[in-house]
Amino acid sequence: MNAEPGRSLPRTGPEGRTGTGRTPRTLGTLGTLRAYAFGAAGLLLAGCASMPDHGEIRPVEASQGVDSQVRVFGVPPSERASPQEVVDGFLEAMTSDDPQLQTARKYLTEEAAKNWKPGAAVTVLSAGLDRSSVQGEKDPAAPRFKVTGRMLATVDERSAYQPETSGGRYEEFLQLTQENKEWRIATPPSSLVLSESDFQRIYMPVNKYYFAGGTLVADPVYVRQRSDPDSRMDPTTQTVKSLLSGPSKWLGPVVTSHFPTGTELREGTKSLSYDGQNTLRVPLNDKVENVAQPQCQKMATQLLYTVKDLTGSRVDRVELVRADGKSSLCEVTEAAAAVIANRPPSPGHQYYVDKESRLQRMSLDPNRQEQQQEEASPVPGPLSGNPPFKVGSAAVSYDEKRAAVVSEDMHGLYVVNLTTAGPMPQPLLLAKGSKPAGFTAPSWDTAGDLWVADQDPQDPVLWRVPGGSGTPERVEVSGLDGRRITGLRTSPDGVRIALLLQQSESRKELFVGRIERPDDKGDASAVSVRELRPAAPQLADVTAMSWAPRGRLLVVGRESGGVVQARYMLADGSMVGAGLPGATGLEDVAASEDEKKPVVAYSGEDGIVWLPPGAQWRTVAAGGRAPVYPG
């Protein structure tokens, strides 16, 4: 393979942070939180695979470890190349950064090269392909090869990442024929086939946005970091095209696109650009001609949030343009889009349980230039006095007017008003199991419903309390397969729930399920959780998690044989290559949808610690535990 240095957009990860705090204790004095330098690894340029002329089974190595900022190009077939050389060369050329995959097409017959459209889907393998000759099975004069590998995931026609949960084996046959006295492949793979390392080098994760009710929801997808080989579109245009094609199949049942059916980019649009005022003009086809202004504003909001999520993109305004390419349909500014998006409010406090098992809160003053915390104080209301029980865990509603608390014995669930004083209410729900198999920590969703799971081994159940005060209802969760829920968090957008699942004494695994609610005002008990999918298949054990900005998850866990660390991950089960520095001693974690707020965590040795924007870890409450943000 040939390689040349190039430029690509970095993959989504934790953003740069700025600001300081006034608490003087820094990472250097924390007992278990150790600082690590995360430097870039040296670039490894893979050479072309050797090309023997025998038919034995052999691995075709992927471009292992190639950095995303290195561009890799294939080598065209040599004159009189053997069938084995043609197959090996083609498999390597598929991993190249050639925008139109022209080199790979040179290994195909003329008809196959013309009809091959690998950009429609991607098969991701855990490693490279194995290939073996099956020459002679049908026609000795027409060599045939079987290529196999272990499937890790697929990327479908809507660019959505789908983890392979059954450990499926990839298998396909490549039929060769002679054309102009040269061996060429007549039956190429139906999709692009890449190893995990090549996939991460060539593709990048982005979010496209749709509405669930009145709230904007992130739908993660993957696009090529450079021009798409089929459409010839750049990454921004690829992402917009994916947005217009509709939500992913997994998220589709619970979200809505405000673009009329059949909406596409104006014919011939391959690249979208910004003007001097950071306005992105997006020409659309005639399907949008009769769209009313309120709907158009929501369409533009979907576009603005989608494009802003592209790392390195700068857009303050989006203008939708009619099919004539000249007249404006509508436009939306960043400020107006923020109102239409209806995202959860920025939290005013952080909450935790102190060493006396009382619920405490710390204020964050949004008017201060330097982010810092106030002194902790007991939450107002009945919990500020001497409640009849000790607090084990808690969740605070998004408006910060109510707290759901689980007693320290994990047996009782209470909902307490934080705005007025009064007697302690009776428990809303009692767990059948007892510690350590009682209630999990609770979680609020944006609709004001409360969620908690009873870990009773004899009858594990997920509960939903409508409005936080209604009659508790059992929620059907498809795909539990005998596992019990040991932890949960509903997403800020209200349509997903992250579940920690455990079977017997085995390791804990992280899954994300889709929350489905009835379309009308029918029976509210019809709310269910569907299509669980692994959210951290790369980790051998997960101990804690929290939703993070832009539909991501912040996960505490360890890889097989590794140490416990905190990493950002996409909710679709693909890993984002970024972790929290010095986070090897964490046992619990909480992040806010507001990226300006610090990450809050629990360290068994140091208590409550946080990582403010641009600063180091610091202890803010020695002896504290169970940190949470509203939600």
Where residue 126 sits, what CATH number does that domain have?
A: 3.10.450
- The answer, yes or no, to whether residue 316 has pLDDT greater than 50, is yes
Q: What is the pLDDT of residue 410?
A: 95
Q: How far is CA 484 from CA 309, 457, 460, 545, in A?
A: 35, 7, 6, 17
517: tokens are 């609610």
The pLDDT tens digits for 320-376 are 999 998 899 999 999 999 999 998 889 999 999 999 999 999 987 544 434 455 588
Residues whose CB falls within 8 Å of the CB of residue 498, separated by 6 or more in sequence, listed in order: 488, 489, 490, 491, 510, 511, 512, 535, 545, 547, 553, 571
Instruction: Specify whether 216 is located in the same domain as 191.
Output: no
Instruction: Specify whether 75 is located in the same domain as 197.
Output: yes
In terms of pLDDT, which residue wins out, 416 or 64? 416
Instruction: Specify whether 244 is located in the same domain as 291.
Output: yes
Largest distance between two CA atoms of the chain: 91
- The answer, yes or no, to whether residue 173 has pLDDT greater than 50, is yes
pLDDT confidence band for 190 (50 / 70 / 90):
confident
- The answer, yes or no, to whether residue 300 has pLDDT greater than 90, is yes
Rounded distance between C-alpha atoms, residue 513 and residue 77, angstroms:
47
Q: What is the pLDDT of residue 374?
A: 59
CB 306 within 8 A of CB 237: no
Rounded distance between C-alpha atoms, residue 129 and residue 133, angstroms:
13
pLDDT confidence band for 137 (50 / 70 / 90):
low
Among 59-68, 104-113, 155-164, 227-236, which is the least confidently predicted range? 59-68
Task: With both helix axes pointing from N to C terminus, report the angle between 293-308 and 235-245 in degrees, rounded to the nearest 10.
Answer: 140
What is the DSSP-derived secondary structure letter of residue 195? E
* β strands within 491-564, DSSP E: 496-502, 509-516, 528-534, 541-548, 552-558
pLDDT confidence band for 29 (50 / 70 / 90):
very low
Instruction: Specify whether 197 is located in the same domain as 226.
Output: no
Average pLDDT over residues 119-134: 84
Rounded distance between C-alpha atoms, residue 175 and residue 177, angstroms:
7
63: tokens are 């471009």
Q: Where is the domain boundary, 201, 225, 258?
A: 201
Residue 533 lies in a domain: no
Q: How far is CA 140 from CA 135, 230, 497, 529, in A?
A: 6, 34, 55, 54
Percent of the chain residues past pLDDT 70, beyond the cut: 83
The pLDDT tens digits for 273-286 are 788 788 999 999 99
The pLDDT tens digits for 605-623 are 889 999 988 888 989 898 8
Cα angle vertex 396, ends 601, 381, to 5°?
A: 115
Q: Give the count of domains, the chain.
A: 2
Q: What is the pLDDT of residue 523?
A: 53
Beta bridge partners, 206, equal 221
- The answer, yes or no, to whether residue 170 has pLDDT greater than 50, is yes
| Burial (0-12, 13-18, 19+ Cβ within 10 Å), 131 | buried
User: Kind of pairing, strands 328-333 and 349-353?
Assistant: unpaired
CB 579 within 8 A of CB 569: no
Neighbours of 596 (CB within 10 A): 16
Residue 75 lies in a domain: yes
CB 72 within 8 A of CB 146: no
Among 301-315, 371-385, 460-474, 504-518, which is the least confidently predicted range? 371-385
Residue 431 lies in a domain: no
Residue 301 lies in a domain: yes
Quote the radius of gyration of the chain (alpha carbons, Å): 27
Instruction: Specify whether 270 is located in the same domain as 194.
Output: no
Q: What is the pLDDT of residue 52?
A: 34
DSSP count for the chain of H helices, then E strands: 7, 39
Closest Cα to residue 38, out of 611, 609, 603, 578?
Answer: 578
Instruction: Specify whether 99 is located in the same domain as 196.
Output: yes
Residue 175 lies in a domain: yes
221: tokens are 């997808």
pTM of the model: 0.83
Average pLDDT over residues 508-512: 95
Residue 528 lies in a domain: no
Instruction: Specify whether 184 is located in the same domain as 76.
Output: yes
Among 360-369, 472-481, 589-598, which is the least confidently predicted range? 360-369
In terms of pLDDT, which residue wins out, 186 or 388? 186
Residue 7 lies in a domain: no
Q: What is the pLDDT of residue 559?
A: 86
- The answer, yes or no, to whether residue 42 has pLDDT greater than 50, is no
Instruction: Specify whether 195 is located in the same domain as 217.
Output: no
- The answer, yes or no, to whether residue 21 has pLDDT greater than 70, is no
Neighbours of 98 (CB within 10 A): 19
Encode 565-602 in three state secondary structure.
EEEEEECCCCEEEEECCCCCCEEEEECCCCCCCCEEEE
CB 101 within 8 A of CB 191: no
Q: What is the pLDDT of residue 135?
A: 64
Rounded distance between C-alpha atoms, residue 546 and residue 443, angstroms:
11
User: Residue 168 is part of which domain span?
Assistant: 44-201
pLDDT confidence band for 98 (50 / 70 / 90):
confident
Q: What is the pLDDT of residue 560?
A: 83
- The answer, yes or no, to whether residue 5 has pLDDT greater than 50, is no
- The answer, yes or no, to whether residue 17 has pLDDT greater than 60, is no
Q: How far is CA 318 from CA 281, 285, 300, 345, 558, in A?
A: 6, 16, 6, 23, 42
Continuous segment of H or E residues that includes residue 344: none
Q: What is the pLDDT of residue 280?
A: 93
Instruction: Specify whether 132 is located in the same domain as 52.
Output: yes
- The answer, yes or no, to whether residue 40 has pLDDT greater than 50, is no
The mean pLDDT value of the chain amounts to 83
Among 116-130, 313-327, 387-401, which is the least confidently predicted range? 116-130
Q: What is the DSSP string of 389-442?
A: S-EEEEEE-TTSSEEEEEETTS-EEEEEESSS--PPPPPSEE-SS-TTSSBPPP
Instruction: Specify whether 72 is located in the same domain as 216.
Output: no
Beta bridge partners, 473, equal 464
In terms of pLDDT, which residue wins out, 233 or 138? 233
Q: Where is the domain boundary, 201, 225, 255?
A: 201
476: Cα separation from own chain's centroid: 24
Instruction: Specify whether 76 is located in the same domain as 165.
Output: yes
Residue 80 lies in a domain: yes
| Burial (0-12, 13-18, 19+ Cβ within 10 Å), 277 | exposed
The pLDDT tens digits for 230-260 are 677 888 999 999 999 999 999 999 999 999 9
Average pLDDT over residues 515-544: 83
Q: Where is the domain boundary, 144, 169, 201?
A: 201
Cα angle vertex 535, ends 223, 438, to 5°?
A: 160
pLDDT confidence band for 51 (50 / 70 / 90):
very low
Instruction: Specify whether 227 is located in the same domain as 274.
Output: yes
